[in-house]
Amino acid sequence: MHDSRIALVTGASRGIGAEVARQLAEPDTHVIVNYREKVKRAQTVADDIRALGGRASTLGADISDETAVAAMIAEIGERFGRLDMLVLNASGGLEQGADSGYAMRLNRDAQRRLVELALPLMPTGARIVFVTSHQAHFYPHKAVPKGYAPIALSKRAGETALHGMKHEFDRRGIHFTVVSGDMIDGTIIIRLLQRRDPDAVDARRSFAPLPTVEEFASAIAGAARSPYHPGIVYVGGSDYLVDRSA
Ligand SMILES: NC(=O)c1ccc[n+]([C@@H]2O[C@H](COP(=O)([O-])OP(=O)(O)OC[C@H]3O[C@@H](n4cnc5c(N)ncnc54)[C@H](OP(=O)(O)O)[C@@H]3O)[C@@H](O)[C@H]2O)c1
């Protein structure tokens, strides 16, 4: 069968992005699994999709590297000629050894640049989904775990920068949705935050069971496919939504 829809999921070699890639796999969709360095993990995700009858390939690119991103988009253009779904999932800044400007370069500048490069490949009706956390989306109106403020600031700046492109999205008939989640159970980020600020993670758990990777990924994949365009989708953390002033 001919691929009729092409989806790119950034940072899909593990965690939430890998699950989004799996959930986007449908017979008429070719899923491109982007990764930064974990090629084997990315290949496993693509293999899993193919084993279930889906279509997938891997494409390595450090999103914060301008040249690598341009090469990735050029390859998508040459191979498929179009991009119907762009899921901006890759994120970072808590990595050991990351310099102080890295979070902003990756979570704001790189997201905007990737979108600018991808837009010419995206037909009317195509979707862009930006994945974020409640800790970032509501920043600085809510407290964040220790050490997370630079990430929250940069992801919030990325979301704002993409909203700033709304006129261009509208002109091209492209739908932009933000999917924001509470802390997601079982992820590496939660294990990292648990070590840095156990009280912050316990406080979220005591409010309600944390959403699972599958639940969050389902909302993200749904936003990339749905005929409805809610603009923003929240997953978990209903207390964030009722009291924005605290
Ligand atoms: N975890 C949570 O509790 C939570 C809650 C709400 C929202 N979110 C959001 O969900 C998204 C995914 O989170 P996660 O917990 O699944 O993350 P994760 O486990 O840290 O996975 C990060 C993924 O992004 C890739 N990546 C990292 N830096 C990259 C770069 N510079 N260029 C390209 N790819 C890069 C990694 O690839 P390699 O493996 O190749 O390095 C990996 O596939 C993020 O946007 C995050 O903010 C997470």
Give me ligand 1 centre to Cα 131, in Å: 10
Instruction: Work out the pLDDT band at 246, boundaries 50, 70, 90.
Output: very low
State the distance from the centre of ligand 1 to the C-alpha of 89, rounded, in angstroms. 6
- Topology adopted by domain 5-237: Rossmann fold (3.40.50)
pLDDT range class, residue 50, cuts 50, 70, 90: very high
- Where are the chain's structural domains? 5-237
Cα(188) to centroid(ligand 1), Å: 9
Ligand 1 center–CA 140 separation, angstroms: 21
Distance CA 103, CA 94 (A): 8
Higher pLDDT, 230 or 138: 138
Q: Which of 14, 19, 185 to mutate to test the pocket of ligand 1 (most atoms within 8 A of CB)?
A: 14
Q: Which of 64, 184, 189, 192 to mutate to test the pocket of ligand 1 (most atoms within 8 A of CB)?
A: 189
Q: How confident is the model at residue 34 (pLDDT cuts 50, 70, 90)?
A: very high
Give 91-105 pLDDT, tens digit per residue.
Answer: 999 888 999 999 999
- Say which residue the tokens 């808590």 belong to: 94
Name the token pair of 236.
Answer: 């978990």
Q: What is the pLDDT of residue 243?
A: 60
H-only helix segments in the chain = 15-24, 39-51, 66-79, 102-104, 111-118, 134-137, 149-163, 166-172, 188-196, 198-207, 213-225, 238-242
